[in-house]
Amino acid sequence: MEPNTAVLAAITIAVIVVLSMALARAILGPTVYDRILAVNMIGTKTVVIIALVGFLDGRPDFLDIALLYALINFIGTIAVLKFLRYGDLGKASEDEGDI
Amino acid sequence: MELAAHIVSWILMGLGAAFLLIAGLGILRLPDVFTRMHAAGIGDTLGAGLILAGLMFQSGFSLITVKLVFVFILLFVTSPTATHALAKSALTGNVKPMLAEDLEDTPSKP
């Protein structure tokens, strides 16, 4: 195996191990904020994995997908947090300011 | 020359993977939401950023590097913002930060 491929594969496996740790935290809880934090972390690691797998395959065009995933991950986290706080995604902030 | 770039890239990616593993340990072992947030925020920006920087050394000057820079900037801006929003949401959602005296009562709670 080419050394560069081996290094990329090793880094990908390390990221997958971290992903499983975050998944364990998402299952364990105990509060809903722990779970949101873990899901946000899983999203970031997914972006890194998509970029790494693109380089492993010799098809770095996957980076477009990684870019999109990073955007969706951020918007999704903010949307879930706002829904938790106000129970409504369309409601504007009143006196306490936005999240 | 290519080998040198590859070696620099391996070192950066190895450092990034180490930071990610530390962040993963932190999110599993630290005692409450806010300390876990601290671990996850560090790992998201520094760990992922170092791995992306390592990939930049492999792609050379091309469109791929530009895309990597975009992903890097996006993660660098959005990850702390999401962590900040999460911290504020947790504080207003009646989750109290754990203090030193709470830690003495429960020494090794995972």
ipTM of this predicted structure: 0.81
Which residue of B lies nearest to A25 if distances are taken between CA atoms?
A: B28
Distances (CA, A) of B8 to B15, B20, B21: 11, 18, 20
Q: Which two tokens stand for residue B89?
A: 């949401």
Which of A15-24, A85-94, B2-11, B45-54 shows the lowest per-residue confidence on average (mean pLDDT)?
A: A85-94
Please tell me the distance from the alpha carbon of residue B41 to that of residue B35, in angstroms, as a whole number.
Answer: 10
Q: What pLDDT is attached to residue A12?
A: 92
A36, B86 in Cβ contact below 8 A?
yes
What whole-number distance in Å separates Cα of residue B73 and Cα of residue B41?
15
Whole-number pLDDT of residue B61: 83
Summary mean pLDDT of chain A = 84
Judged by CB atoms closer than 8 Å, whether chains meet at B51 and A31 is answered as: no
Determine the pLDDT at residue A98.
54
pLDDT value, residue A49: 92
Q: Which of A7, A45, A67 is the closest to B67 by Cβ?
A: A67
Contacts of A50 (CB under 8 A, 6+ apart): A62, A63, A65, A66, A69
- The pair of structure tokens assigned to A35 is 């779970």
Q: Shortest CA distance to A36 belongs to which of B82, B4, B69?
A: B82
* A81 CA: distance to closest CA in chain B (Å): 7
CB A51 within 8 A of CB B56: no
Contact B71 A70 (CB under 8 A): yes
- Direct distance between the N- and C-terminal alpha carbons of chain A, in angstroms, rounded to an integer: 49
Specify the pLDDT at position A24.
92
Q: How confident is the model at residue B103 (pLDDT cuts 50, 70, 90)?
A: low
pTM of the model: 0.83
Residues 6+ apart with CB under 8 A from A36: A77, A80, A81, A84, B86
Q: How near does any CA of chain B get to the CA of A92, in Å?
A: 16
What average pLDDT is seen over chain B? 83
Residue B100 has pLDDT above 80, yes or no: no
Q: What is the mean pLDDT of residues A11-19?
A: 92
Higher local confidence (pLDDT), A84 or A95? A84
State which residue of chain B sits closest to A19, comparing Cα positions: B24
Only one residue has tokens 């477009």, namely A64
B98/chain A closest Cα distance in angstroms: 14
**What is the SS3 assignment for A31-97?**
CHHHHHHHHHHHHHHHHHHHHHHHHHHCCHHHHHHHHHHHHHHHHHHHHHHHHHHHCCCCCCCCCCC
Instruction: Please give the span between the terminal C-alpha atoms of chain B, in angstroms, as a whole number.
Output: 48
* For residues B73-88, average pLDDT: 88
Residue B59 CA to residue B77 CA, distance in Å, equals 23
pLDDT of res. B105: 57
Quickly state the pLDDT bin for B106 (edges 50, 70, 90): low
Domain range annotation of chain A = 3-85
- pLDDT tens-digit readout, A51-87: 899 888 888 788 888 899 989 988 998 888 888 877 7
